[in-house]
Amino acid sequence: AQSVTQLGSHVSVSEGALVLLRCNYSSSVPPYLFWYVQYPNQGLQLLLKYTSAATLVKGINGFEAEFKKSETSFHLTKPSAHMSDAAEYFCAVTRMDSSYKLIFGSGTRLLVRP
């Protein structure tokens, strides 16, 4: 069975500081991995995806994530936080069957202090 663990339900950073949101996955087969962002009262927006190509994936809004098989991790980073980055972030892994259902972590709420 596949699963995702997001360490830290809340992360607080100062504006301009490094953002690091942690995601570890469990999968018996090579996974596809995703990061989504959710702003209050909105749906999910795809930030970036890993689909077995380059291990360092660049996404929108300056975010990137690195797939590390040895650590079963897919942490999300951004060099400099902006106030507009405050949101809920979800890591997700696909189940590699015909449905490709997404299995989500419990989410990390990013707070950005001025």
Query: Which positions lie near other proteins, rule CB under 8 A?
Result: 32, 36, 41-46, 49, 51, 90, 92, 94, 97-107
Q: For the CB of residue 78, give the shortest distance to other proteins in the complex, in Å.
A: 21
Nearest-approach distance from CB 101 to other proteins, in angstroms: 4
CA distances to 13, 78, 82, 101 from 16, in Å? 8, 10, 6, 35
Identity of the residue, 13 or 36, whose beta carbon is nearer to other proteins in the bound complex:
36
In sequence order, the 6+-apart residues with CB closer than 8 A to the CB of 69 are none
Residue among 27 and 94 whose Cβ is closer to other proteins: 94
CA distance linking residue 94 with residue 27, whole number of Å: 9
Shortest approach of other proteins to residue 93 CB, angstroms?
10
Q: Which residue has the tokens 């951004």?
A: 78
Min dist. Cβ of residue 104 to other proteins (A): 3
Q: Which DSSP helix (H) or strand (E) runs through 11?
A: strand 10-14
CB of 101 or CB of 113, closer to other proteins: 101
